[in-house]
């Protein structure tokens, strides 16, 4: 900028300036219209990393991967290149978004990304006691860290206590609340040693639960339950994840990590399981992998890329790319969250008016061009308890009358600085502007928009514990296909992940009871009832269910993306063929 | 016998004769400059473009075919056609209308920032140039230090700080400032920031001009008849630096416009949905491959505007040359 202020001191002949601008303008026009490769430049959060874990995995129920390898011959070079981004928090015990942790670590149990089945990993076998309130895990003999140190039950005891220690400030401690004293330890009411986990000896790990938790193995498979190397952390502290220090137990180890630039994974020689086919996986880190990945893919810089919603049209119509593209639902829902302790959104009629005050079909069909799936309710359809009948009933007229009833007829008296906060990553700016305009047109209210960098948004949201706000948009992707991952972990008033300060006693008691029910059908019915309350109270308003599309080079086979974030390594299965 | 003309009559006749032979009207500072400017084709073209732009900006609500924030979801990313002359963006908003309203933002930024620059830079340069010595050294060293500041960064810092302050403003001076900020589409920080970083050049130019003028005879003469420093500065020196100031502000306008465009492009400037050419360019970048028209219109408008101001500024400098070289 400083240059421009010196224009008056610089001497350019008029003719030269003219000719330069004509040439420059023509060049710009040619580049923009004439085609030819654009150098990539964008900045977006890949849906795999931004916000709440819409997983580093994501594939559908069909185990069909991007191209089955079948009998194809393997290539000599087994190198896979991908686009990703710098993780917000890297530590498995702290982060709320798992990034590529499943490549580096394995927990007691691993969820197979090919079909969602359970693979006993660090634990050779596990079983509950008679009433399901205690689970005993027997360690697999001979498992070691990548530096050769043996992994024992004591590692798990230490790692899990570390997660719940308030000093660790884990963003995902809530996942261990089912463990006895879990909540009390996380809140600082009890010391970490009181957590209901114990290494009876080096090879037996016992978990005592607050109540019978039938789906506990799923929790044991999530990234927060990964073992972390105590001997490294106690030596180097926060820097234990840097390539020179890092010690892992998963199929891959991080051999290079140039922050914000590049991550390289290579097979872990001390991994207990089947060796991967890949010899090297390079993840180029972009600040916006969603928008930068596809151009890099088309430039042959990477082998597999997410198709951003803005490029979806073009890829769909492209003769080559459309064949390489495949869709994968992601068991996720983007939502609007309201502060229920702060006017005007403390009034349920206002919340319902806002929920009904925008047209859903044009948003999904025209603005988002069917890249995402419509979401009348919050639980995605692969989760038991999914209840489409619970959708909020009403139309724009109803929204208007609700708003008038609440004291803002035609938007009169509406607070001028009502602000909607959101991450500035695609497609949220588009949705936010759509909502702003819809609410203005249909309800007569003005809403200010405040976009934020994803990292800043996460910080801002944590601070909402004590600071008032109006509304924000946040997404959740299932960590595992169980409704407790949603209702109990996000919306129950003792969790309040989105800091809405919403408290509904009926909802709280239903979901607390349902979590420990052993009969799957009755359990699903209870959660469906809870869903009804959730939607009616409109503290959280669903916008769309996630789905994403990837393009894969024809020589890359067996790429699996599981819908939820708790699945194990997908790099393990990838093969490069000739 | 003929009547002898008086001395006066002879004089008059002489003047008339000379004028008749000369055929040019009597010269005056600015009329002369205007004549020279007019002969400069490129500068004239620039001036016409700017005049048109000003008219467009002022009459925006009258000439824009659609409001700038209405979303027509049946017409998302439509290429230019008869209903939407420059096409629509990802939310179905008419690009031509947004371009027209965007011109307001750009021109307002240019003008306001230049006003701030003149308000700060001219007095500083005047005082430094006139008094010389320690005052001059002090002021110019301050200017040197401020010159080293990264401009964009400074503006971003001010923007972020003000936005945060306005959020929590409930009383005091911040409240009216907040309404001004709202009224300008969230650009108060940009005005202040850009103004604060850009006055330096003007102050240096003015100081240079004053330094070369202050030892001229007319200043001495004014002092001799008892004019105070203030009077000399305002009534004698300042008018003679006008040429320099005019050229500097005209050439500085595009810098301010580009500055605001850059900040809005980063998402830190104008409040959505107020259109700014910079934010429109940001919208268009992600769609460049599929729908280039979204980016082209604001980019061309911005380029032409900056070019025009540059041409006019250059033309003015050439036209006012003799006075600037005094």
pLDDT at B6 over 80: no
Taking the CA of residue B57 and the nearest CA in chain A, the distance in Å comes to 23
Taking the CA of residue B70 and the nearest CA in chain A, the distance in Å comes to 7
Residue A437 within any structural domain of the chain: yes
List domains and CATH numbers for chain B.
32-325 (1.10.3720.10)
Q: Indicate which of A2, A40, A308 best probes the interface with B, i.e. most B CBs within 10 Å of its own CB.
A: A2
Does residue A303 or residue B170 have the better pLDDT? A303
Its domain, for residue A464, covers 336-362+395-472+481-542
Region A316-324 average pLDDT:
90
A42 reaches B (C-beta below 8 A): yes
Region B98-123 average pLDDT:
92
Does residue A32 or residue B288 have the better pLDDT? B288
- Contact check, Cβ <8 Å, A310/B286: yes
Residue A514 within any structural domain of the chain: yes
Taking the CA of residue B196 and the nearest CA in chain A, the distance in Å comes to 12
- Contact check, Cβ <8 Å, A436/B272: yes
Q: What is the CA angle A455-A226-A171, rounded to 5?
A: 30
- Contact check, Cβ <8 Å, A367/B90: yes
Could you tell me if residue A266 is left (phi over 0), alpha (psi between -120 and 50 degrees) or otherwise beta?
A: beta
| Nearest-Cα residue of chain A relative to residue B260 | A1
What CATH number corresponds to the domain at position A455? 3.10.105.10
- Contact check, Cβ <8 Å, A430/B90: yes
Q: What is the pLDDT of residue A21?
A: 55
Q: Tell me the chain A residues in contact with residue B286 when contact means C-beta distances shorter than 8 Å.
A: 42, 291, 308, 310, 426
Tokens 């110019």 appear where?
Answer: B140
Nearest residue, CB atoms, A33 vs list B92, B200, B292: B292
Q: Which residues of B162-175 are buried (b: 16+ CB within 10 A; e: fewer)?
A: bbeebeebeeeebe
Q: Tell me the chain A residues in contact with residue B273 when contact means C-beta distances shorter than 8 Å.
A: 433, 436-437, 449
- Contact check, Cβ <8 Å, B258/A9: no
Q: What is the pLDDT of residue A91?
A: 93
Region A354-368 average pLDDT:
93
A433 reaches B (C-beta below 8 A): yes
Highest averaged pLDDT of the listed ranges A17-21, A152-156, A381-385, B229-233: A152-156
- Contact check, Cβ <8 Å, B73/A426: no
Taking the CA of residue A28 and the nearest CA in chain B, the distance in Å comes to 9
Contact partners, residue B20, CB within 8 Å, separation at least 6: none
* 524-563 of A, contacting B, C-beta below 8 A: none
Q: What is the pLDDT of residue A17?
A: 56
A415 reaches B (C-beta below 8 A): no
- Contact check, Cβ <8 Å, B272/A291: no
Does residue B144 or residue A480 have the better pLDDT? B144
Task: For strands A109-111 and A118-120, give the pairing.
Answer: antiparallel
Q: Tell me: the pLDDT tens digits for A140-187?
A: 999 999 999 999 999 999 999 999 999 998 998 988 998 999 999 999
Calculate helix-pair angle for A428-443, A396-405, nearest 10 degrees: 70
Taking the CA of residue A32 and the nearest CA in chain B, the distance in Å comes to 6
- For the entire predicted model, the pTM comes to 0.67
A459 reaches B (C-beta below 8 A): no
Region B182-197 average pLDDT:
84
Residue A125 within any structural domain of the chain: no
- Contact check, Cβ <8 Å, B73/A291: no
Nearest residue, CB atoms, B248 vs list A8, A42, A308: A8
- Contact check, Cβ <8 Å, B91/A437: yes
Token pair in block for residue A491: 């919306």
Q: Tell me: the pLDDT tens digits for A226-277?
A: 999 999 999 999 899 999 999 999 999 999 999 999 999 999 999 999 999 9
A291 reaches B (C-beta below 8 A): yes
Q: Which 3 state secondary structure label does DSSP give A171? A: coil
Residue A463 within any structural domain of the chain: yes
Q: Tell me: the pLDDT tens digits for A18-61?
A: 555 555 555 444 444 433 332 222 323 333 333 333 333 333 33
A416 reaches B (C-beta below 8 A): yes
Tokens 């003469």 appear where?
Answer: B221
A1 reaches B (C-beta below 8 A): yes
A417 reaches B (C-beta below 8 A): yes
A32 reaches B (C-beta below 8 A): yes
Please give the backbone phi and psi of residue A172, each rounded to the nearest 5 degrees, phi first: -130, 25
Residue A327 within any structural domain of the chain: no
| Nearest-Cα residue of chain B relative to residue A366 | B73
A449 reaches B (C-beta below 8 A): yes
| Nearest-Cα residue of chain A relative to residue B154 | A1
User: What is the three-state SS of A372-438?
Assistant: CEECCCCCCCCCCCCCHHHCCCCCHHHHHHHHHHCCCHHHCCCCCCCEEEEECCCCHHHHHHHHHHH
Cβ proximity of A541 and A491 under 8 Å: no
Q: What is the pLDDT of residue A331?
A: 92
- Contact check, Cβ <8 Å, B285/A451: no
Q: Tell me the chain B residues in contact with residue A33 when contact means C-beta distances shorter than 8 Å.
A: 292, 296
Token pair in block for residue B59: 């009459």
Region A387-407 average pLDDT:
94
Q: What is the pLDDT of residue B76?
A: 87
| Nearest-Cα residue of chain A relative to residue B308 | A18
| Nearest-Cα residue of chain B relative to residue A364 | B73
Q: Tell me: the pLDDT tens digits for A186-206?
A: 999 999 999 999 999 999 999
- Contact check, Cβ <8 Å, A8/B255: no
Region B42-59 average pLDDT:
94
Q: What is the pLDDT of residue B193?
A: 86
- Which range (A299-308, A503-512, B103-112, B193-202) has the least confidence? B193-202
* Measured distance CA(A389)–CA(B209) in Å, rounded: 78
- Contact check, Cβ <8 Å, A29/B182: no
Q: What is the pLDDT of residue A38?
A: 26
Q: Tell me the chain B residues in contact with residue A451 when contact means C-beta distances shorter than 8 Å.
A: 267, 272
Q: Tell me the chain A residues in contact with residue B177 when contact means C-beta distances shorter than 8 Å.
A: none
Q: What is the pLDDT of residue A442?
A: 94
Q: What is the pLDDT of residue A217?
A: 87
Nearest residue, CB atoms, B76 vs list A4, A5, A367: A367
Taking the CA of residue A290 and the nearest CA in chain B, the distance in Å comes to 11
Closest CA to A204 of A276, A152, A168, A249: A152
Residue A562 within any structural domain of the chain: no
Proportion of chain B above pLDDT 70, given as a percent = 89
- Contact check, Cβ <8 Å, A311/B289: yes
Q: What is the mean pLDDT of chain B?
A: 85
Taking the CA of residue B69 and the nearest CA in chain A, the distance in Å comes to 7
Distances (CA, A) of A237 to A7, A150, A228, B138: 52, 20, 12, 50
A11 reaches B (C-beta below 8 A): no
Q: Which 3 state secondary structure label does DSSP give A179? A: strand
Contact partners, residue B209, CB within 8 Å, separation at least 6: B125, B129, B240, B241, B244, B324
* Measured distance CA(A560)–CA(A111) in Å, rounded: 12
Count up the domains in chain A and report the number: 1
Q: What is the pLDDT of residue A149?
A: 94
- Contact check, Cβ <8 Å, B91/A362: no
Q: What is the mean pLDDT of chain A?
A: 86
pLDDT at B305 over 90: yes
- Contact check, Cβ <8 Å, A367/B73: yes
Residue A486 within any structural domain of the chain: yes
Contact partners, residue A75, CB within 8 Å, separation at least 6: A555, A576, A577, A578
CB pairs under 8 A between A and B: 120
Q: What is the pLDDT of residue A195?
A: 92
Region B99-108 average pLDDT:
93
Q: Tell me the chain A residues in contact with residue B97 when contact means C-beta distances shorter than 8 Å.
A: none
- Contact check, Cβ <8 Å, B255/A4: yes
- Contact check, Cβ <8 Å, A436/B273: yes
Taking the CA of residue A289 and the nearest CA in chain B, the distance in Å comes to 13
Nearest residue, CB atoms, B303 vs list A25, A310, A367: A25
User: What is the three-state SS of B48-71?
Assistant: HHHHHHHHHHHCHHHHCCCCCCCC
| Nearest-Cα residue of chain B relative to residue A13 | B314
Residue A507 within any structural domain of the chain: yes
ipTM of the complex: 0.73
Q: Indicate which of A3, A4, A9 best probes the interface with B, i.e. most B CBs within 10 Å of its own CB.
A: A4
Cβ proximity of B45 and B39 under 8 Å: no
């Amino acid at each position: 900028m400083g240059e421009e202020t010196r224009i008056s001191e610089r001497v350019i002949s008029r003719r030269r300036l003219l000719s330069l601008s004509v040439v420059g303008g023509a060049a710009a026009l040619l580049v923009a219209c004439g085609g030819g490769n654009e150098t990539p430049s964008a900045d977006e959060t890949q849906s795999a990393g931004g916000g709440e874990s819409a997983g580093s995995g994501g594939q559908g129920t069909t185990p069909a991967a991007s191209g089955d390898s079948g009998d194809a011959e393997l290539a000599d070079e087994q190198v896979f290149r991908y686009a990703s981004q710098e993780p917000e928090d890297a530590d498995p015990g702290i982060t709320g978004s798992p990034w590529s942790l499943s490549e580096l670590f394995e927990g007691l149990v691993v969820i197979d990304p090919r079909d969602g089945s359970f693979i006993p990993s660090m634990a050779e076998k596990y079983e509950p006691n008679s009433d399901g309130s205690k689970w005993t895990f027997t360690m697999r003999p001979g498992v070691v860290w990548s530096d050769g140190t043996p992994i024992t039950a004591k590692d798990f005891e230490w790692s899990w206590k570390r997660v719940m220690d308030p000093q660790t400030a884990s963003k995902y401690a809530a996942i261990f609340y089912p463990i006895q004293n879990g909540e009390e330890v996380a809140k600082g009411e009890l010391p970490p040693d009181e957590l209901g986990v114990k290494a009876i000896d080096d090879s037996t790990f016992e978990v005592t639960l607050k109540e019978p938790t039938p789906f506990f193995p799923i929790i044991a498979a999530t990234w927060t339950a990964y073992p972390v190397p105590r001997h490294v952390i106690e030596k180097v502290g926060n820097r234990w994840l840097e390539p020179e220090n890092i010690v892992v137990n998963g199929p891959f180890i991080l051999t290079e990590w140039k922050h914000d630039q590049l991550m390289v994974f290579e097979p872990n020689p001390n991994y207990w399981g089947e060796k991967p086919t890949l010899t090297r996986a390079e993840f180029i880190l972009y600040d916006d992998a969603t928008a930068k990945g596809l151009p890099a893919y088309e430039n042959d810089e990477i082998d597999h890329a997410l198709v951003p919603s803005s490029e979806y049209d073009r890829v769909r119509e492209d003769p080559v790319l459309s064949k390489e593209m495949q869709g994968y639902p992601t068991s996720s829902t983007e939502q609007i969250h309201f502060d229920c302790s702060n006017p005007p959104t403390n009034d349920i009629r206002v919340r319902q008016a806002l929920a009904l005050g925008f047209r859903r079909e044009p948003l999904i069909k025209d603005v988002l061009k069917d890249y995402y799936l419509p979401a009348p309710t919050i639980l995605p359809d692969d989760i038991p308890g999914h209840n489409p009948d619970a959708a909020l009933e009403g139309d724009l007229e109803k929204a208007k009358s609700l708003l008038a009833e609440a004291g803002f007829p035609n938007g009169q008296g509406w607070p001028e600085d009502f602000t909607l906060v959101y991450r500035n990553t695609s497609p949220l700016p588009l949705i936010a502007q759509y909502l702003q305009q819809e609410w203005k047109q249909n309800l007569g209210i003005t809403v200010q928009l405040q976009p934020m960098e994803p990292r800043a948004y996460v910080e801002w949201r944590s601070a909402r514990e004590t600071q008032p706000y109006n509304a924000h948009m946040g997404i959740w992707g299932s960590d595992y296909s169980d409704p407790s991952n949603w209702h109990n972990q996000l919306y129950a008033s003792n969790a309040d992940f989105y800091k809405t300060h919403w408290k509904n006693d009926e909802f709280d008691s239903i979901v607390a009871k349902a979590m420990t029910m052993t009969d799957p059908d009755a359990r699903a019915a209870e959660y469906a009832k809870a869903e009804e309350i959730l939607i009616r109270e409109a503290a959280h308003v669903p916008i769309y269910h996630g789905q994403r599309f990837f393009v894969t080079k024809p020589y890359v086979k067996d790429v699996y993306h599981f819908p939820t974030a708790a699945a194990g390594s997908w790099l393990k299965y990838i093969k490069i063929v000739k | 016998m003929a009547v002898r003309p008086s001395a006066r009559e002879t004089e008059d006749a002489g003047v008339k004769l000379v004028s008749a032979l000369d055929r040019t009207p009597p010269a005056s500072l600015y009329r002369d400059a205007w004549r020279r400017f007019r002969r400069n084709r490129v500068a004239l073209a620039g001036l016409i473009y700017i005049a048109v732009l000003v008219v467009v900006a002022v009459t925006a609500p009258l000439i824009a075919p659609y409001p700038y924030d209405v979303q027509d979801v049946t017409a998302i990313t439509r290429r230019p056609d008869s209903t939407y002359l420059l096409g629509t963006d990802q939310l179905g908003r008419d690009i031509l209308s947004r371009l027209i309203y965007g011109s307001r933002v750009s021109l307002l930024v240019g003008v306001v920032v230049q006003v701030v620059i003149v308000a700060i830079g001219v007095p500083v340069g005047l005082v430094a140039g006139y008094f010389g010595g320690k005052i001059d050294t002090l002021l110019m060293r301050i200017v040197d230090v401020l010159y080293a500041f990264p401009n964009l960064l400074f503006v971003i810092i001010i923007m972020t700080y003000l936005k945060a302050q306005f959020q929590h403003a409930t009383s005091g001076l911040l409240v009216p400032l907040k309404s001004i900020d709202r009224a300008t589409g969230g650009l108060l920080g940009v005005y202040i920031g850009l103004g604060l970083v850009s006055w330096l050049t003007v102050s240096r130019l003015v100081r240079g001009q004053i330094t070369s003028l202050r030892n001229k005879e007319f200043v001495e003469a004014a002092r001799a008849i008892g004019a105070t420093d203030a009077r000399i500065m305002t009534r004698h020196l300042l008018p003679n630096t006008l040429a320099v100031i005019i050229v500097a502000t005209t050439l500085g306008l595009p810098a301010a416009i580009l500055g605001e465009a850059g900040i809005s492009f980063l998402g830190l400037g104008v409040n959505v949905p107020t259109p700014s050419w910079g934010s429109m360019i940001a919208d268009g970048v992600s769609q460049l491959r599929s729908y280039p028209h979204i980016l082209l219109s604001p980019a061309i408008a911005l380029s032409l505007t900056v070019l025009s101001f540059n041409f006019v500024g250059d033309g003015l400098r050439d036209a006012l040359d003799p006075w600037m070289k005094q």
